[in-house]
């Protein structure tokens, strides 16, 4: 903080979350305690700072200054100046929003769920309450399907209309009146406001009644509601608070704001980024929203002048209070602002830390040191059990050919495939389907594979997850369920063969007699690939290892920036492609002439460390489409600070994770087919609402409500009981509000049995992932698996992950005998002592192997009741337990048995 900064801003923006200051009548900022966040007084102005820690990059700051309807102009101007001062103190790296009572932005309202209900009066620091507050009946209107804008209206029948939802709050009862044209989602959100009022104004001691517009059949609540308005009378059709239609094409005008405060209109109607000079401030008037863009090289005085000029413009032109003002600093433009400019450039700037770390690692590698980089653990997790059944089909014309198990890890770039993966979930088998589209495949095969995938999925039980992926854009989970993937050039499809013949293209389909170059990549034995690339020298990259196959020789090429993990993967992949090969190993810089001759001569190729692109935080969007056939009228709207409750059953929502997108289909939505959902996902990629440069080849997942997989639910604080409630969103919220029990699907924890080993390629189905999305550790205790059972018991252990066949040197897995079946058949291999989670187990908890608990044990455990020990032995023999934990009382009489694999 600079010396000029307000002392109230000391330490602001350091921790994530909200910080709020109120402007008092002495024109000073007073911090608002967290207990009063969300309570805004109409006689005051406020400054609000929201800080978010992103997955990568610096913290994100948003500043809002909120103006109560009764706040005077001096305090409002003071709040505006302080917001700019706070921005400067934080390094001019914030986006600022002007919020007017009753017309707040959805982003602002999303901080204070379920709602913001302004309070009449003035904030007092001493009491934290308004002066002279007293309870009174009030009529509130609620608008919004994901965030609710609550506004008090006159307590009169004329305030009611058919379009909105109203709450009538009286001393003894709260009434919810739903206009006949209001949506189910709005009614459901209004119930959250009712719950809020009941808890905060009535201490939970009041009744709740719902009244539907136009229904009067003998309901006492309806009669009581209308009696408060002096009796029933029809609501006029031409409602006073009808929805204002926004023009389809917004009015756009760019102005340069001079240092004297004059507005100079731009000469061109077509906007591009080059118009914005870094030493000037500009105003973009979009009609319903106005942006002020401030160049990096402008002073605080210039910025203050620009903001005051814009606010004066609103007042002088009598513009609606619903007009939103947003203030941006160069380099921090919002997606909405960027969308108004033609071809806004996509500038990918790696984080300084990541770029520096990559350069240092590369420098040490070139000096001959082996530098191990620590990957982001979450980026390496597939989030599902990877020991399920796998089936793969290849499209050949209109035929669907089942690939034999030994060959199902091999793909051709000219073909399309259907992949069905069945894995154990929560008490049931889950199905995941992929349509894999080779980069060189023909459009007819691509359409055919989607059709076949849908047909097979329709015959499977439940609602499987469907995904469309294109070669080179595969998500981590795709490679994780295969563990090993080899992608060859060319294709076997009839249509592919016909297509290249018509075009006169040489058939490059792989065979061992041809020259071929493979790039080896991956993160470990459970996720490794060999990709055939063009056999030319500029296909090489110092960050990877390669296999070069010629007619007479096999070379392995080791890049200078590759790691020891890459080298181990290289050896393993060589064995998988052809175990008879005897390679000649060459390091980058010491290649023989025969190596370069096979690649058509030596040319330049990338030699710098590949910097990992920073991870984008996910964004959730609602999607609407009035034209279900052509998707011409496709619109999306972002849901800020989203949560599981935003997945309303009437909607189709799109979760944008940048590397992949998820189309979530609510049970009561108007999208009934997975094919239609994939089309919506493709339309979303074309629209690119965040102007983030989304690729049209981004993987698309289609997920049905109630069957959400862990790799989707990990983005939410997930409650399975909410995901399986019946009825529409209003009925669900009403049942919760009135305390009625819902019929929920039973959730039985899966036993995680490796039942599919006989149909799975040897060594490929070894990795296990717990249902909360964490991979089981090879150590005796996994904190992730421990937390998984937290809700079942206070005494927890974790079974070691069933080991896999040793895949490459340095692997933590044992050879041969370490398969899951071998572990089950050999209880003697169980460690004598398994560590217990100290946070959950008592100090007197004892753990013994099965052999020592049998009656006829050669080394029996002492101090245990013999009869109960016999029961333990019988139960263990019948259930085939691998490990046991005895959690006893002080006198060793009470025994609890748990088998982690069965839980």
Averaged pLDDT, 96-109: 95
pLDDT at position 630: 55
Q: How far is CA 832 from CA 33, 755, 839, 847, in A?
A: 54, 27, 21, 8
pLDDT at position 796: 28
Q: How far is CA 334 from CA 130, 199, 623, in A?
A: 36, 37, 20
Q: Which of the given ranges, 129-143, 435-449, 856-870, has the highest pLDDT on average?
A: 435-449
Cα–Cα distance, 60 to 38 (Å, whole number)? 21
User: pLDDT-based confidence at 462, cuts 50/70/90?
Assistant: confident
User: pLDDT-based confidence at 382, cuts 50/70/90?
Assistant: confident
Residue with token string 């969103």: 729
pLDDT at position 232: 85
Averaged pLDDT, 158-176: 94
Going 706 to 711 to 713 to 715, the CA torsion angle's sign is negative
Cα–Cα distance, 722 to 717 (Å, whole number)? 11
Q: Are 577 and 548 in contact (CB under 8 A)?
A: no
Cα–Cα distance, 606 to 735 (Å, whole number)? 61
pLDDT at position 57: 79
Q: Using one digit for the tens of pLDDT, what is the confidence trace for 881-897?
A: 433 344 333 344 444 44
pLDDT at position 817: 32
Averaged pLDDT, 778-805: 31
Cα–Cα distance, 291 to 712 (Å, whole number)? 35
Averaged pLDDT, 82-110: 94
Q: Are 500 and 450 in contact (CB under 8 A)?
A: no
For residue 285, pLDDT over 50 is answered with yes
pLDDT at position 2: 54
The β-bridge partners of 21 are 31, 47
State both tokens at 110: 């999303």
DSSP type of residue 320 = -
User: pLDDT-based confidence at 848, cuts 50/70/90?
Assistant: low
DSSP type of residue 662 = E
Averaged pLDDT, 131-155: 84
Alpha helices in 483-563 (DSSP H): 494-503
Q: Using one digit for the tens of pLDDT, what is the confidence trace for 332-368?
A: 999 999 999 988 887 654 444 444 555 555 555 555 5
Q: Which long-range contacts (CB under 8 A, 24 or more apart) does 360-366 make?
A: 361/561, 361/609, 362/561, 362/608, 362/609, 365/560, 365/561, 366/560, 366/561
pLDDT at position 843: 38
pLDDT at position 266: 85
Any idea of the CA torsion for 573, 576, 580, 582, to the nearest 10 degrees? 0
CB neighbour burial string for 539-552, b if at least 16 within 10 angstroms, e if fewer: bbbbbbbbbbbbee
The β-bridge partners of 678 are none
Q: Are 160 and 226 in contact (CB under 8 A)?
A: no
State both tokens at 143: 């608008």
Q: Are 433 and 467 in contact (CB under 8 A)?
A: yes
State both tokens at 491: 């294709």
- Torsion-angle region of 505 (φ positive above 0: left; ψ -120 to 50: alpha; else: beta): beta
CB 879: neighbour CB atoms within 10 A? Answer: 12
Length of the chain: 903
Lowest mean pLDDT among 116-125, 464-473, 498-507: 116-125
Least Cα distance to 397 among 411, 419, 416 occurs for 416
The structure's pTM equals 0.78
Q: Are 43 and 56 in contact (CB under 8 A)?
A: no
Lowest mean pLDDT among 6-15, 108-117, 536-545, 589-598: 6-15
Which residues lie closer than 8 Å to 279 by C-beta, 6 or more apart? 295, 297, 298
Beta-strand pair 263-265/410-412: unpaired
Q: What is the CA radius of gyration of the chain?
A: 32
Least Cα distance to 668 among 735, 741, 730, 719 occurs for 730
Q: Using one digit for the tens of pLDDT, what is the confidence trace for 307-340?
A: 999 999 988 888 888 899 999 999 999 999 999 9
DSSP type of residue 206 = S
State both tokens at 512: 């061992």
Q: Which residue has the higher pLDDT, 364 or 416?
A: 416
Lowest mean pLDDT among 271-275, 600-604, 775-779: 775-779
For residue 403, pLDDT over 60 is answered with yes
pLDDT at position 298: 93
The helix/strand count (H/E) of the chain reads as 19, 32
Alpha helices in 320-473 (DSSP H): 335-339, 352-366, 443-459
Least Cα distance to 764 among 486, 546, 533 occurs for 486
User: pLDDT-based confidence at 777, cuts 50/70/90?
Assistant: very low
Longest dimension (CA), the chain: 99
pLDDT at position 746: 34
Lowest mean pLDDT among 221-225, 284-288, 728-732, 832-836: 832-836
Q: Using one digit for the tens of pLDDT, what is the confidence trace for 75-92?
A: 999 999 999 999 999 989
Which residues lie closer than 8 Å to 840 by C-beta, 6 or more apart? 786, 790, 794, 795, 796
User: pLDDT-based confidence at 562, cuts 50/70/90?
Assistant: very high
Q: Are 701 and 663 in contact (CB under 8 A)?
A: yes
Question: pLDDT averaged over the chain?
Answer: 79
User: pLDDT-based confidence at 833, cuts 50/70/90?
Assistant: very low
- Residue 476 phi, psi (nearest 5): -55, -40
For residue 206, pLDDT over 60 is answered with yes
Strands lying side by side in the sheet with 289-294: 28-31, 17-24, 45-52, 60-67, 94-100, 324-329, 289-294, 281-285, 253-257, 263-265
Q: Which residue has the higher pLDDT, 760 or 128?
A: 128
For residue 241, pLDDT over 70 is answered with no
């Amino acid at each position: 903080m600079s010396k000029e900064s307000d002392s109230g801003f000391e330490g602001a923006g350091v921790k994530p979350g909200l910080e709020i200051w109120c402007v008092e009548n002495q024109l000073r900022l007073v911090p608002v305690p967290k207990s009063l966040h969300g309570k805004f007084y109409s006689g005051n102005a406020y400054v609000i700072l929201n800080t978010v820690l992103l997955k990568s990059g610096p913290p994100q700051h948003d500043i809002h200054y909120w103006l109560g309807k009764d706040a005077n102009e001096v305090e409002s101007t003071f709040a505006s100046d302080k917001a700019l001062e706070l921005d400067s103190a934080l390094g001019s790296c914030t986006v600022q929003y002007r919020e007017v009572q009753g017309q707040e932005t959805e982003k602002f309202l999303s901080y204070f769920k379920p709602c913001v209900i302004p309070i009449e009066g003035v904030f007092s620091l001493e009491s934290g309450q308004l002066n002279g507050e007293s309870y009174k009946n009030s009529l509130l209107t609620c608008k919004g399907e994901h965030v609710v804008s609550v506004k008090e209206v006159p307590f009169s029948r004329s305030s009611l209309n058919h379009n909105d939802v109203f709450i009538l709050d009286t001393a003894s009862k709260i009434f919810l009146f739903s206009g006949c044209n209001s949506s189910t989602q709005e009614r459901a959100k209004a119930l959250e406001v009712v719950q809020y009022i009941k808890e905060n104004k009535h201490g939970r001691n009041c009744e709740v009644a719902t009244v539907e517009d136009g229904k009067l059949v003998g309901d006492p609540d309806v009669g009581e509601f209308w009696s408060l308005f002096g009796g029933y009378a029809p609501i006029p059709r031409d409602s006073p608070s009808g929805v204002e239609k926004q023009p389809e094409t917004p009015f756009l005008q760019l102005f340069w704001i001079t240092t004297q405060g004059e507005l100079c209109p731009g000469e061109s109607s077509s906007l591009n980024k080059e118009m914005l000079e870094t030493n000037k401030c500009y105003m973009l008037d979009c009609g319903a929203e106005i942006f002020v863009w401030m160049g990096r090289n402008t002073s605080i005085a210039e910025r203050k002048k620009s903001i005051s000029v814009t606010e004066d413009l609103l007042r002088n032109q009598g513009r609606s209070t619903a007009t939103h003002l947003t203030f941006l600093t160069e380099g921090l433009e919002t997606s909405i602002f960027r969308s108004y400019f033609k071809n806004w450039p996509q500038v990918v700037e790696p984080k300084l830390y990541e770029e520096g770390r990559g350069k240092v690692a590369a420098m040490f590698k070139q000096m001959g040191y082996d530098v191990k980089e620590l990957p982001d653990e979450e980026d390496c997790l597939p989030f599902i059990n990877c020991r399920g059944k796998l089936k793969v089909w290849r499209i050949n014309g209109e035929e669907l050919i089942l690939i034999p198990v030994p060959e199902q890890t091999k793909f051709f770039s000219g073909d399309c495939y259907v992949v069905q993966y069945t894995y154990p979930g929560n008490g049931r088998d889950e199905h995941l389907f992929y349509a894999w589209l080779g980069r060189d495949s023909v459009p007819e095969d691509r359409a055919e594979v989607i059709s076949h995938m849908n047909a097979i999925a329709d015959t499977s039980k439940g609602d499987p997850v469907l995904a469309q992926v294109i070669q080179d854009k595969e998500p981590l989970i795709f490679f994780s369920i295969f563990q090993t993937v080899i992608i060859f050039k060319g294709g076997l499809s009839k249509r592919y063969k016909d297509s290249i013949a018509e075009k006169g293209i040489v058939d490059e389909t792989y065979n061992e007699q041809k020259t071929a170059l493979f790039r080896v990549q991956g993160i470990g034995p459970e996720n490794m690939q060999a990709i055939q690339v063009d056999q030319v020298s500029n296909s090489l990259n110092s960050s990877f290892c390669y296999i070069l196959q010629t007619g007479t020789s096999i070379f392995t090429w080791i890049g200078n920036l590759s790691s020891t993990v890459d080298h181990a993967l290289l050896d393993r992949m060589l064995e998988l492609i052809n175990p008879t090969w005897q390679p000649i190993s060459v390091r980058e810089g010491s290649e023989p002439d025969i190596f370069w001759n096979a690649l058509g001569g030596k040319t330049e190729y990338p030699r710098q460390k590949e910097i990992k692109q920073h991870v984008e935080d996910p964004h959730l969007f609602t999607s609407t489409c009035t034209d279900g056939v052509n998707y011409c009228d496709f619109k999306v709207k972002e849901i800020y600070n989203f949560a599981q409750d935003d997945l309303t059953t009437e909607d189709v929502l799109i979760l944008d994770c940048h590397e992949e997108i998820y189309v979530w289909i609510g049970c009561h939505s108007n999208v009934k087919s997975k094919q239609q959902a994939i089309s919506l996902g493709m339309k979303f990629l074309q629209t690119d609402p965040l102007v983030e440069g989304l690729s049209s080849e981004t993987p698309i997942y289609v997920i049905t409500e109630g069957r959400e997989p862990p790799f989707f639910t990990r983005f939410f604080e997930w409650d399975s009981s909410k995901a399986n409630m019946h009825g529409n969103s209003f009925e669900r919220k009403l049942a919760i509000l009135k305390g009625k029990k819902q019929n929920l699907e039973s959730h039985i924890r899966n036993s995680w049995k490796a039942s599919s080993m006989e149909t799975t390629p040897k060594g490929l189905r070894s990795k296990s992932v717990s249902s909360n999305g964490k991979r089981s550790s090879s150590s005796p205790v996994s904190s992730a698996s421990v937390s998984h059972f937290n809700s079942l018991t206070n005494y927890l252990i974790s079974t070691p992950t069933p080991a896999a066949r040793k895949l490459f040197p340095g692997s933590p897995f044992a050879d041969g005998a370490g398969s899951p079946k071998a572990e089950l058949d050999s209880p003697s291999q169980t460690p004598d002592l398994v560590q217990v989670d100290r946070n959950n187990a008592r100090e007197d908890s004892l753990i013994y192997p099965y052999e020592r608990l049998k009656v006829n044990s050669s080394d029996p455990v002492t101090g245990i009741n013999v009869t109960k020990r016999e029961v333990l032995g019988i139960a263990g023999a019948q259930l085939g337990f691998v490990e046991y934990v005895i959690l006893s009382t002080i006198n060793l009489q009470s025994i609890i048995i748990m088998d982690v694999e069965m839980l």
